[in-house]
């Protein structure tokens, strides 16, 4: 195994050991390197780079936990490992779709959803990262398949199946991003409608109470010879005047609502 470490260029070796290195396929005279980087969800989205080295019909996978190259008996083991990681990625995107469907149902119930922006930003960020990873991974896998398709014993159908699954998952992630965009538009529209109703209500209150404030302010002036100031029932008359003003404004508001 020491000869493999010596054979690989030290810069490529650093790439292999990097757990977040982007997907890539490198052809050298003595070996080929395949790195497929896929997302994984724990408490947050994690990027895992899965590195392989192919050396004259020998197949090695780099184990980042033990920091060693593990020799694989055949190319089928490479397929089995990548297929397992691909299935995990598909389940991850499917779970995000389910969460977005839940968000959609909450919005359509027209109930308060104060945590909407928290969920929206989280899934938006994760999906954008997933799309970047899968776009590059599918391109690298396509190059890898084209390189080895003529090799004896190469499982072209199997690896094309992985490529198709990753491509479909990538399209699914893009659809999820579009759906998030539609939900954001609906959410902002609903909030704008509520804000407009609030402003409309406050406008009505202002239209009613501004004339009343004018009357109250006028009769509240500390000057002589104000109307009704010398009459015993002056306060009652001013109260009736205020009521008439309020009634006129309310009637005017209803009239304008019918006309508009």
Instruction: For residue range 36-84, list pLDDT tens digits in order.
Output: 999 988 788 999 999 999 987 789 999 988 888 899 998 899 999 999 9
User: pLDDT tens for residues 195-221?
Assistant: 777 777 777 777 667 776 767 776 676
Is 127 a residue whose pLDDT tops 90? yes
Torsion over CA: 149, 153, 159, 161 (sign): positive
Residues 164 and 254 in one domain: no
The two tokens of residue 189 are: 């529209």
The two tokens of residue 216 are: 């109250």
What are φ and ψ of residue 177, in 5° steps? Answer: -65, -45
Q: How many C-beta neighbours within 10 Å does residue 122 have?
A: 14
Of 148, 173, 195, the residue that ends a domain is 195
Is 260 a residue whose pLDDT tops 60? no
More confident residue, 193 or 146: 146
More confident residue, 247 or 106: 106
Under the banding of pLDDT at 50, 70 and 90, the label for residue 85 is very high
| Whether 136 contacts 160, CB under 8 Å | no
Beta bridge partner(s), residue 39: 47
Of 143, 162, 195, the residue that ends a domain is 195
Distance between CA 129 and CA 124 in Å, rounded? 9
The count of domains in the chain is 2
| Whether 27 contacts 53, CB under 8 Å | no
pLDDT of amino acid 61: 93
Residues 183 and 208 in one domain: no
Residues 17 and 42 in one domain: yes
Under the banding of pLDDT at 50, 70 and 90, the label for residue 91 is very high
Under the banding of pLDDT at 50, 70 and 90, the label for residue 1 is very low
Is 166 a residue whose pLDDT tops 90? yes
With CA atoms as reference, report the closest residue to 90 among 31, 169, 4, 11: 169
Helix, strand, or coil (residue 48): strand
Segment of 2-16, 175-189, 205-219 carrying the highest mean pLDDT: 175-189
Distance between CA 97 and CA 195 in Å, rounded? 30
Domain coverage including residue 220: 201-259
Distance between CA 103 and CA 115 in Å, rounded? 10
Of 195, 225, 242, the residue that ends a domain is 195
The pTM assigned to this predicted structure is 0.76
């Amino acid at each position: 195994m020491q000869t493999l470490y010596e054979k690989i260029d030290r810069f490529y070796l650093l790439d292999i050991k990097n757990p977040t290195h982007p997907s890539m396929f490198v052809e050298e005279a003595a070996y080929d390197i395949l790195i497929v980087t896929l997302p994984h969800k724990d408490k947050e989205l994690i990027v895992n780079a899965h590195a392989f080295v192919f050396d004259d019909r020998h197949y090695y996978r780099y184990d980042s936990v033990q920091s060693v190259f593990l020799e694989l008996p055949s190319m089928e083991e490479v397929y089995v490992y990548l297929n397992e990681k691909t299935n995990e990625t598909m389940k991850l995107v499917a779970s995000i779709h389910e969460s977005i469907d839940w968000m959609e149902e909450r919005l359509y119930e027209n109930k308060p959803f104060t945590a909407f922006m928290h969920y929206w930003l989280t899934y938006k960020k994760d999906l954008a990262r997933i799309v970047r990873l899968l776009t590059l991974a599918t391109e690298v896998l396509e190059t890898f398949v084209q390189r080895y398709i003529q090799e004896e014993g190469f499982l072209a159908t199997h690896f094309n199946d992985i490529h198709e699954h990753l491509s479909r998952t990538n399209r699914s992630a893009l659809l999820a991003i579009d759906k998030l965009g539609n939900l954001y538009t609906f959410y902002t529209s609903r909030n704008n409608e509520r804000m407009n109703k609030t402003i409309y209500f406050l406008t009505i209150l202002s239209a009613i109470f501004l004339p009343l404030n004018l009357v109250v302010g006028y009769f509240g002036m500390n000057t002589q010879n104000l109307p009704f100031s010398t009459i015993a029932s002056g306060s009652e008359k001013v109260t009736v005047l205020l009521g008439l003003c309020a009634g006129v404004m309310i009637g005017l508001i209803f009239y304008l609502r019918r006309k508009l």
